[in-house]
Amino acid sequence: MLAVESINVAYGDLQVLWDVSLSVRQGELVALIGANGAGKTTTLRAITGLLRPRSGRILFNGSNLTGLSPHRIVELGIAHVPEGRQLFPLMTVEEHLLLGSFLPRARARRAQNLERVFGIFPILRERLHQPAETLSGGEQQMLAIARALMSDPQVLLLDEPSLGLAPLVVKEVFRIIEQIHREGVTVLLVEQNVQQALAIADRAFVLENGRVVLEGSGSELLDHPEVKKAYLGL
Ligand code: ATP
C-alpha cells in the first residue's frame, strides 16, 4: 500500500536519511523505531510531502507521491498526527475536528466520521466546545488523532503519540491505536516507547543515523539481541 523506496533526504547540506526503504501493507500496523535524531520524523515528513526527497520515491497504492503537495497527499488518504500534536490552543475541539475534514472527500463524510470519532473518543464529545488549551495532555493527543481521522484516511501516520504522557495515559493511547487499527485503518507508528510499539506492531523497522538497520515482525524484534540492548535496556 505504502512503499518508501531508497529515499535520501537532507535539510540544506545536512543529509539525514540515506537510502531509506520501508513498506506498509494494507491493514498492517508497522512501527518505526530508533533513537532521538535517527530520522523517524523526517521519514514521516517525506511521506506527507512536507519534505521532498533528493532521490528515491514514495508509492501509495502504486502511484508516485513524490513531489505532490501535502494537501493532495491527505486527499489521497494519508493522514499525519505530528509530533507535539500541533493543536491551535484557542480553537475548540469542534473547530479542530471540522478542520480535519476540510478537504472535499472528507467533507462529504463529515457527519459519519464525527460519530466514529466520538465512538472512539467519547471524552471529545463532552469537551466539544472547549478550547484545546483547556484539555489534558492525553485529551490533546486524542484530539490530534481524532482530527487526523476526520480526514477519512486509509493510512494513519503517528509521530510519537505517547510522548510526555503519564504511564496510564500512554497505555490508553496504545489501546486506542490498536482499536483504530482493528477497525481497518493501516498504521505507521513512530515511537520511542519501543517495548509497547513492538508489542502491538505486525512489523517494524529500526532506523539508526538515517539508515534502516533492522526489520522484522514486532515479536522478532522484541527478541532481537541488538534491540534488547539498544532500546529495551536489557
Ligand atoms: P526525534 O525523536 O528527536 O524527533 P527523529 O528520529 O524523529 O528524532 P528527526 O527529527 O527526523 O529524528 O531528525 C533527524 C536529524 O535531522 C537530526 O539530526 C536533526 O537534528 C535533524 N533535523 C531535523 N529537523 C531539522 C530541520 N528542520 N533543519 C535541520 N536539521 C533538522
Give tens-digit pLDDT for 68-127: 999 999 999 999 999 988 999 999 999 999 999 988 888 899 999 999 999 999 999 999
Give tens-digit pLDDT for 124-150: 999 999 999 999 999 999 999 999 999
pLDDT at residue 197, rounded to an integer? 95
* pLDDT class of 232 with cuts at 50, 70, 90: confident
Tell the residue nearest (CA) to atom 2 of ligand 1: 36
Q: Which residues contact 132 (CB under 8 A, 6 or more apart)?
A: 87, 88, 89, 90, 91, 92, 93, 96, 140, 143
Tell the residue nearest (CA) to atom 25 of ligand 1: 11
Q: Tell me the C-alpha to C-alpha distance, in Å, between residue 54 and each of 16, 38, 131, 188.
A: 11, 18, 40, 22
pLDDT at residue 212, rounded to an integer? 97
Ligand 1 atom nearest to 45, measured from its CA: 11
Q: Which residues line ligand 1 (CB under 6 A)?
A: 11, 14, 16, 34, 36-42, 83
Tell the residue nearest (CA) to atom 11 of ligand 1: 39
Q: Quick check: 16 pLDDT over 80? A: yes
Q: Which long-range contacts (CB under 8 A, 24 or more apart) does 177-180 make?
A: 177/29, 177/145, 178/29, 179/120, 180/120, 180/145, 180/149, 180/156
pLDDT at residue 233, rounded to an integer? 79
Tell the residue nearest (CA) to atom 31 of ligand 1: 11
Decide if 131 contacts 99 (C-beta within 8 A): no
Tell the residue nearest (CA) to atom 19 of ligand 1: 37
Average pLDDT of the residues of the chain: 95
Give tens-digit pLDDT for 155-184: 999 999 999 999 999 999 999 999 999 999
Q: Quick check: 234 pLDDT over 80? A: no
- Percent of the chain past pLDDT 90, that is, above it, reads 91
Tell the residue nearest (CA) to atom 28 of ligand 1: 11
Q: Which residue has the cell 534491540?
A: 227
Give tens-digit pLDDT for 190-222: 998 999 999 999 999 999 999 999 999 999 999
Residue 42 CA to ligand 1 centre (angstroms) = 6
Q: Which residue has the cell 469537551?
A: 127
**Test site for ligand 1: of 7, 22, 42, 43, most ligand atoms within 8 A of the Cβ:** 42
**Surface-to-core class of residue 225, CB atoms within 10 Å of its CB (0-12 exposed, 13-18 middle, 19+ buried):** exposed
In this structure, which amino acid lies at residue 1?
A: M
Mean pLDDT of 2-18: 96
pLDDT at residue 231, rounded to an integer? 86
pLDDT at residue 122, rounded to an integer? 95
pLDDT at residue 134, rounded to an integer? 96
Residue 6 CA to ligand 1 centre (angstroms) = 18
pLDDT at residue 85, rounded to an integer? 87
pLDDT at residue 189, rounded to an integer? 98
pLDDT at residue 203, rounded to an integer? 98
Residue 49 CA to ligand 1 centre (angstroms) = 16
Ligand 1 atom nearest to 43, measured from its CA: 11
Query: Cα–Cα distance between 185 and 178 in angstroms, integer?
Result: 10
pLDDT at residue 105, rounded to an integer? 87
Give tens-digit pLDDT for 45-59: 999 999 999 999 999
Rounded (10°) angle between helices 110-120 and 167-182:
140
Residue 17 CA to ligand 1 centre (angstroms) = 10
